[in-house]
């Protein structure tokens, strides 16, 4: 009930859970606990956010934020996996924990690198139109770890990334990656292959996205 009625002030004089007569100034609600704590994490106020997040540690959104805090610190990055693993199975594909768990599996953070599991979680995010999931999916395809290398399929993921990312610099990087997949081919064949990547990307989006 308290969480529904109040939110944290921007600069609380005492950072501890509001139990009983806690000496902390509470303000009428203007945003949720999740949004407030996320803004603290995004602004680097980790030491202030952690005690509150621990209070809500059974909630997937708090677990994801705790994982994000751990991931940002090289000394504690290995602990991020445990928090993401708790949150991701109970979260939608566009939840930050899903992308965080996929990244841990891809890069071997807190767990042995596992491209199969990384692809599983990235695909879950991709089906919810998470733009950051497509470049890693292409990267997983290119070494040929899961199956013989499939340049067209890797290029398809990069093409979808180009269509969904808003950062122009990153779009340029993905366009370069797509070109590099086929740089040894003659110009005509290269153009046809890249065109197929974009066609396959459009078909995948039509098959997997509702709108």
Determine contact, residues 143/178, Cβ cutoff 8 Å. no
- Name the residue with higher pLDDT: 80 or 181: 80
pTM over 0.85: no
Three-state SS sequence of 24-37:
CCCEECCCCHHHHH
Among 89, 150, 156, CA closest to 124: 89
Over range 40-66, report the average pLDDT.
Answer: 89
Mean pLDDT (the chain) is 80
Over range 38-60, report the average pLDDT.
Answer: 89
- Name the residue with higher pLDDT: 145 or 21: 145
Give 102-129 pLDDT, tens digit per residue.
999 999 999 999 999 999 999 999 999 8
Instruction: Quote the CA–CA distance of 161 and 131 in Å, as a whole number.
Output: 6
For position 134, what pLDDT does the model report? Answer: 92
pLDDT band at 170 (very low <50, low <70, confident <90, very high): confident
Find the angle CA(57)-CA(111)-CA(150) to the nearest 5 degrees: 120
| Total Cβ atoms within 10 A of residue 31 | 12
Contacts of 101 (CB under 8 A, 6+ apart): 81, 84, 85, 87, 88, 121
Asked if the model's pLDDT at residue 91 lies above 90, the reply is: no
Give 123-152 pLDDT, tens digit per residue.
999 999 898 999 999 988 887 666 777 788
Asked if the model's pLDDT at residue 158 lies above 70, the reply is: yes
Instruction: Quote the CA–CA distance of 147 and 169 in Å, as a whole number.
Output: 30
Q: Tell me which of 19-23, 75-79, 133-137 is least confident.
A: 19-23
């Amino acid at each position: 009930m308290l969480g529904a009625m109040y939110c944290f002030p921007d600069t609380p004089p005492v950072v501890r859970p509001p139990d009983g007569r806690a000496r902390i100034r509470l303000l009428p609600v203007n945003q949720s606990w999740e949004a407030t704590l996320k803004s603290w994490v995004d602004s680097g106020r980790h030491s202030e956010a952690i005690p509150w997040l621990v209070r809500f540690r059974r909630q997937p959104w708090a677990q994801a934020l705790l994982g994000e805090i751990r991931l940002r610190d090289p000394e504690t990055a290995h602990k991020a996996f445990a928090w993401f693993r708790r949150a991701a199975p109970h979260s939608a594909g566009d939840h930050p924990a899903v992308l965080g768990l996929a990244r841990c599996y891809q890069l071997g953070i807190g767990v042995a690198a596992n491209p199969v599991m990384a692809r599983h979680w990235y695909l879950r995010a991709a089906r919810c139109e998470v733009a950051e999931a497509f470049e890693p999916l292409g990267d997983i395809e290119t070494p040929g770890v899961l199956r013989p290398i499939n340049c067209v399929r890797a290029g398809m993921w990069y093409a979808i990334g180009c269509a969904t990312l808003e950062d122009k610099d990153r779009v340029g990087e993905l366009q370069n990656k797509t070109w590099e997949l086929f740089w040894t081919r003659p110009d005509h064949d290269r153009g046809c292959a890249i065109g197929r990547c974009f066609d396959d990307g459009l078909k995948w989006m039509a098959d997997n996205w509702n709108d």
